[in-house]
Structures are given as structure tokens and as C-alpha cells.
Amino acid sequence: MNNLVFESESLNGILENKPISRQQAIGMYQKATKYPNELFQASQELRKKYKKNTVTFSKKAFFNIVNLCKDTCSYCTYKSEPNEAKISLMSKKQISELLALAKKYRCTEALFVTGEQPEQKYQEARDWLKENGFKSTVEYLVHSSELALETGLFPHTNAGNLNYEEMKELKKTNVSMGVMLENISERLTEKGMPHRLAASKRPKARLEVLENSGKLGIPMTTGILAGIGENMEEIIDSLFAIKQLNERYGNIQEVILQNFQPKPDTKMKDAPGADEKYFKIIVALSRIIMPQMNIQIPPNLSPKSYQGFLSAGINDWGGISPLTPDFVNPEFSWPEIDKVDENSKNAGFDLKCRFPTYPEYFSFISKELRGKISIIENEEGFVKEEYWR
């Protein structure tokens, strides 16, 4: 570490490995709204200490398995209704074909995404499952995950609020899983707020999923969504909730910080979203609150800000696909991996391709899955460069 001395006693304490309190974090935010540079420099120092000059990504294919969803969020365009053209009900054949194509492109991650428990609300989902020979979406995900492993890809499932038994079953074939906390605020579930009609987004329900992932020892990705009408105290409380869970179980491998982008045809189409300065302060605070965490922002949502966010403390670009769109944010195309590499290098960082599981979390997965990873793994635990390039 450099021998930096900050005006803020709290920031000096962070550099000396002292924990930060909620009140200190709020104070740091308030100061950073006018004078952010000290906060950014401290977060950059912590990133250097724990992550060096490496920035990672996962080369993925996005499997939009089923986008029927029993919830309704005010900002979402991922969800489809049965009569809409964008509906996705992937057949076993379509999954196999995309897996083969992903293998050809040398992807390593099969990202399996579904709406929230679609068969509970839609007859169309129940019929689709029956046609493919399954009783539940989770059964289909297990089958798809087995196919991915046979093809040479590694499954990462994001299917909303799975219960303990469902997650236990998926752990056998998934090297990691994910569910976004989004925000711990009950206020955002009240009338007129974005999570009003999304029962699965209620903080207690999301925290239970994350708690179960910890009990099961699943390498877990979670994160927050910024710019949906929250205040900074709610952001800070959400970050501390994630930190506390990780301190208890040690299985949260990554925190995604996603900046909300208003979308046409949604109730929040005229909402301002998260401006860049506000979002960068959130990034820096996340690094300050969780110094050793892998912190990610999606590069397609901030395409002109590589240097800025690397300086603010991130160390990961998340999953980037060379062949499938971002079905959650379809209006924002994935950047080319070569472009991400070039921009990272220009900012002074080495881009490395990781597996859906970070190297420091390999001990959480089974010997069988660990063995499959080792086939294309280099000495640092990343994907061999000759494989992914």
C-alpha cells in the first residue's frame, strides 16, 4: 500500500484494515457529493491492494430459457406476456444448438436465466414444460445444466427466488448461482414504488435466498440496482446487508453494481436513472465497505466510462457474450471483448477471462466440477488465454 494520508480519519482507518460503520459510510457519501476525489483514491488503493492490476470477465452465452414471470417490476422489459413477440420458451433442441454454438465461440459460461416461477402463473409455461418432459422450471434447469457440462460449458443459473431444495439440486451441476438483492428497502415495495407488484423482490424473500446459498456453500453473485428511486442510506444499508451475509457464510463471490437505465414501454420510462457521478460514488463506497470483494459493473451500461469505473474500484466486467444479446437490457449491446481488452489496457489493467466461479471460491464446488474446470485452467485459476482468445 502507498503511505497515503487522507483528511478523513475513516478513510485512513480503512487503509489500516479497520471496519467501517454505517454512519461513517453515510458521512463519506455526503462529503463525496462535493469532493469525491479522496473517496475515489481510497477505493483505488484498496482495489490495488487486493486485486492488483487485474480486471476479469466471463465469456458467456445467455440462455433466455423462459421469460414469463409471475412478478411485475415497474422498470423491467425482460418479462414477456404469452401474446408478445419477444416471448422465449426454449426447447431442448434450441438449448442444445446454442450450447454447440457457444462451444464453437469458446465461451466458458452458460448463463441460464428465467422469469420468476412462471409455471405458477401461466398455463403456457406449464404446457411448455410438459412438452419438453418436465414438471418444473427447476427440473428443466437441472437438465440444461447437465447438457452444458457435457458440452464443456459451466452453468451459472439466475432464476429468481429458488428455495433451499431447488438450490441444493442445482448445486450439483452449477459452478455458481446468482440473485440480485437490488435493494433492502421495504419502502421500494410500497404503493407507487418499483417493487410493489414484485413479491419476490421483497427484502425478506431475497435475503432468505442468499442465506440459503450460504448454508449450502454455493458461490453466489448478488448486487444492487441504483437509480430506481432509492436514497443513499438505502444503498448503504443494502451493501451492509450483503457484507453481513458474507461475513457469516463467506460464499458471496461477487457484487454487481447495476445502474438503472430507463426503458420505453415501462412505468418508469421517464425516470432519470442513475447519473454517472452518483453511480461512481456507489462503486467507490462498495469497495470501501467490502475491500476484498469482487466488484463488477456491466460494461454495456457504461460504455464510455472504462477508466472512470476502474479508477473507482471495480475489478470485474461480468459476463460478456460474443453471440447472444443482453436480454435484460437488449437496447445495450455487449462490447466486443477485444474492445474491452483494449480499453482495460489503456487504463493500465490486464484483462483475464475467469470461470463463472472466481478462483478463490473453487473450494466451494464439488471435485467433479473442479476437475472439469481444471482442463482449461491456467496456473492462476483463470481460463487459459489460448482457449478464450
pLDDT tier at 192 (50, 70, 90 boundaries)?
confident
Domain that holds residue 231: 52-388
Mean pLDDT of 189-214: 86
Mean pLDDT of 176-200: 84
What per-residue confidence (pLDDT) applies to 1?
46
What per-residue confidence (pLDDT) applies to 352?
97
What per-residue confidence (pLDDT) applies to 77?
66
How far apart (Å, rounded) are the C-alpha atoms in residues 331 and 260?
13
Is residue 349's pLDDT more than 70?
Answer: yes
Mean pLDDT of 193-215: 87
The CATH number of whichever domain residue 378 belongs to comes to 3.20.20.70
Asked if 227 and 274 count as a contact pair (C-beta separation under 8 A), the reply is yes
The reply to whether 19 falls in a domain is no
More confident residue, 307 or 123: 123
Mean pLDDT of 367-376: 96
What's the mean pLDDT when you consider all of the chain? 89
Mean pLDDT of 323-352: 86
List, in sequence order, every residue forming a beta bridge with 182; answer none if it has no partner. Answer: 224
pLDDT tier at 122 (50, 70, 90 boundaries)?
confident
The reply to whether 283 falls in a domain is yes
More confident residue, 2 or 282: 282
What per-residue confidence (pLDDT) applies to 332?
66
The reply to whether 12 falls in a domain is no
pLDDT tier at 228 (50, 70, 90 boundaries)?
confident
Surface-to-core class of residue 244, CB atoms within 10 Å of its CB (0-12 exposed, 13-18 middle, 19+ buried) = exposed
pLDDT tier at 274 (50, 70, 90 boundaries)?
low
Surface-to-core class of residue 83, CB atoms within 10 Å of its CB (0-12 exposed, 13-18 middle, 19+ buried) = exposed
The reply to whether 40 falls in a domain is no
Mean pLDDT of 129-136: 94
Q: How many domains does the chain have?
A: 1
The reply to whether 362 falls in a domain is yes
pLDDT tier at 267 (50, 70, 90 boundaries)?
low
pLDDT tier at 15 (50, 70, 90 boundaries)?
confident
pLDDT, tens digit, for every residue of 24-34? 999 999 999 99
Is residue 153's pLDDT more than 60?
Answer: yes
More confident residue, 115 or 281: 281
For the chain, give the number of residues.
Answer: 389
Cell, residue 251: 460464499
Q: Check the CA dihedral 352-355-360-362 and report its sign.
A: negative
List, in sequence order, every residue forming a beta bridge with 63; answer none if it has no partner. Answer: 112
How far apart (Å, rounded) are the C-alpha atoms in residues 360 and 300?
26
Q: Give percent above pLDDT 70 in the chain.
A: 90
pLDDT, tens digit, for every residue of 34-75? 999 999 999 999 999 999 999 999 999 999 999 888 877 666
> pTM of the prediction?
0.92
pLDDT tier at 154 (50, 70, 90 boundaries)?
very high
The reply to whether 33 falls in a domain is no
Angle at 257 between CA 252 and CA 259, to 5 degrees: 155
Mean pLDDT of 297-323: 83
Asked if 365 and 219 count as a contact pair (C-beta separation under 8 A), the reply is yes
The reply to whether 14 falls in a domain is no
pLDDT, tens digit, for every residue of 81-100? 888 878 889 999 999 999 99
What per-residue confidence (pLDDT) applies to 379?
97
The reply to whether 112 falls in a domain is yes
Residues in CB range of 109: below 8 A, 6 or more apart:
58, 59, 60, 61, 153, 154, 155, 156, 319, 355, 356
pLDDT tier at 207 (50, 70, 90 boundaries)?
very high
**What SS3 state is found at 316?**
strand
How far apart (Å, rounded) are the C-alpha atoms in residues 150 and 236?
42
Asked if 145 and 107 count as a contact pair (C-beta separation under 8 A), the reply is no
